A and B are shown apart, each in its own frame.
Chain A
Amino acid sequence: MLRDITLGQYFPGTSFVHRLDPRTKIIITAAFIATLFIGSNPVCLEAGAVFCAAAVIVSRIPVKMILKSLKPIIMILAVTSLLNLFLINSGIPIFEWKFIKITYTGLRTSIFMVVRIALLVAGTSLLTYTTSPILLTDAIERLMSPLAKIKFPVHDLAMMMTIALRFVPTLIEETDKIMSAQKARGVDMDGGRIADKVKAVIPIIIPLFISAVRRAGELATAMECRCYRGGEGRTKMRQLKFGVSDVLAILFSLYFMAAVILVNIFL
């Protein structure tokens, strides 16, 4: 049952977006998010939506996948829109009944917020759909590398992310095995009340933790055997290279977003 969980949500492909340097994609996504939050004019959101839609089309990621990424946040979207709708009392009222008062401003803000959050999630999902976790880690390490000068442990963080990604499937498999073993001993996993369910987790969590700690020890020894000594003097097999398309993509995106922000200021 746990075996179906996929690692990250990478959707392999060879489109233009897939082939962009992961750093390019992170930079563009960051700019995209910034634009969404700076923009207070509906035009900004419309432009953002167009940009996002264009990126989705170019990436050839099925629209269904993008919609699927919005599914977990439906509740958040609903709550946000309702709060905005009912709590904003200024502006021209369009509906009034007892203590409920819906105003034009409220409606407008409500729609605005929903679109903003949806675009935010869709945009970042596109990043993880088109970039494999290992490339993403690599790109983050390299983008953050200037921080190493102020003693920020950039390499260590990236290493931790890599190992975490590497061990997710292993630990899932292990959890599966432990669950089967505990079921064989008569532990009731599907037991009724919440308190019972929480109790049922204990015989799974404890063996899993012990095993994870043992694995960590063995992995550390294996890494030492392979001359691991932290980030200093380390080279990388895979070299990330900015190509012409990266430069074009960044320039285009940044111009586009700058234009959107300017429009926002002067409109």
Chain B
Amino acid sequence: MKKFASAEHLSFSYDEGGYVFKDLDLSFEKGELTAVLGHNGCGKSTFAKHLNAILLPSGGKVYIDGIDTADEERLYDIRQKVGMVFQNPDNQIVATIVEEDVAFALENLGVPPEEIRQRVDDALKSVGMYKYRFHAPHKLSGGQKQRVAIAGIIAMRPECIVLDEPTAMLDPIGRGKVMETIKKLNREYGITMILITHYMEEAAQCGRVIVMDKGKVIMDDAPDEVFSHVEELKSVGLDVPQATELIYVLNKKLGLDLDTHITDEDECSELIAKLLS
């Protein structure tokens, strides 16, 4: 697989303040579904904003599909390739009607009207919001708004979507729906997804998990491998999925030596069943 996005020796500082990160190397392959974890202020959101040239590196380089993000002439190519979804769905919806909002990016890109129509319909169908196309955004639930925001990005036909805590403000049902949509888009359209999240259960559903702390990547592996380092994660202020936690606590209290490479309920219950029999 080829590298789609890569940061090389990336450094960044806001104004005169200290560096948010220094000499960061990180890359993403095409079609990957990656979760980025980290405590508040670890630099994950700042890093995300480098991926579509909202922020430019203070040092080092970021390449998207071979294009240097500092290349101003290719700015809109980069932004079209890498879409971004933010935490608060209210603050990223521009228009007063759902379908108008989904069309916003395409109108900016100067796509012909008939094609906009087609792509807007496709995008709304792919996130399951087609029947709400004439609704006013403020009448939708948080999860629905967030899916509209995702549709607005999908309509650009991006190769990668960076989602900065897209489920943080949603109720459990909305969160589940958004996560389902993210996985579906990754699976069916092969869109590279970079998901910044605080929910370990969501990270466990990804193919790769990156853990950041104080501007450094401290873990970068498959989810079960990352979450098996329970103590290390706790030391940087992170949790592990409940299933992993349960096995960890059992191990500790009963002096067992169960495998902590477990991230979901099914595996966990199987393991406990085996233990009890």
Contact = CB atoms under 8 A, between A and B. Distances in A.
Contacts of B91: 215, 218-219, 222
Contacts of B192: none
Interface stretch (A92-100, A103-111, A228-236): A228-236
A76 B119 CA distance: 51
Contact of B116 (A162, A166, A237): A237
Contact of B156 (A133, A134, A222, A227): A227
Given A162-B95, A227-B80, A227-B156, A169 B108 contact: no
B113 A173 contact: no
Interface residues of B, number: 41
Contact of B120 (A227, A236, A237, A239): A237
Given A221-B86, A224-B54, A225-B84, A233 B93 contact: no
Given A234-B110, A237-B106, A237-B117, A229 B76 contact: yes
B105 A226 contact: yes
Contacts of B103: 237
Contact of B86 (A162, A163, A222, A234): A222
A131 B97 CA distance: 14
Interface string B128-171: 00000000111000000000010011001000000000000000
A144 interface: no
Given A225-B79, A227-B79, A235 B96 contact: no
A218 B88 contact: yes
Contacts of B111: 235
B90 interface: yes
A133 B96 contact: yes
Contact of B97 (A134, A169, A228): A134
Contacts of A234: 107-108, 110
A205 B111 CA distance: 41
Nearest to A236: B107
Given A215-B91, A227-B105, A162 B96 contact: yes
Contacts of A226: 79, 83, 94, 104-105, 108, 152-153, 156
Contacts of A225: 52, 54, 79, 83-84, 153
Given A133-B96, A226-B104, A215 B90 contact: yes
A241 to B, nearest CB: 11
Contacts of B117: 237
B88 to A, nearest CB: 6
A7 interface: yes
A7 B136 CA distance: 10
Contacts of B88: 215, 218
Nearest to A134: B96
A132 to B, nearest CB: 8
Contact of A169 (B52, B109, B138): B138
Contacts of B106: 235, 237
Interface string B114-130: 00110010000000000
A223 interface: yes
B36 to A, nearest CB: 17
B100 interface: yes
| Residue with the greatest number of chain B CB neighbours at <10 A, chosen from A173, A224, A237 | A237
B46 interface: no
B107 A237 contact: yes
B94 A162 contact: yes
Contact of B138 (A170, A215, A228): A170
Interface string A233-247: 111111100000000
A236 B86 contact: no
B205 interface: no
B66 interface: no
A228 B108 contact: yes
Given A166-B96, A173-B138, A239-B113, A221 B54 contact: yes
A165 interface: yes
A237 B100 contact: yes
A235 B76 contact: no
B113 to A, nearest CB: 5
A227 B96 contact: no
Nearest to B99: A237
Nearest to A221: B54
Given A170-B138, A218-B88, A238-B113, 20 more contacts: A7-B96, A166-B137, A218-B91, A219-B91, A223-B94, A225-B52, A225-B54, A225-B84, A226-B79, A226-B104, A226-B108, A227-B76, A227-B80, A233-B110, A234-B107, A235-B110, A235-B111, A235-B116, A237-B99, A237-B113
5 interchain residue pairs of minimum CB distance: A222-B92, A226-B105, A218-B91, A237-B103, A169-B138
12 contacts: A134-B97, A163-B94, A166-B137, A218-B88, A219-B94, A221-B86, A225-B54, A225-B153, A227-B79, A235-B111, A235-B112, A237-B100
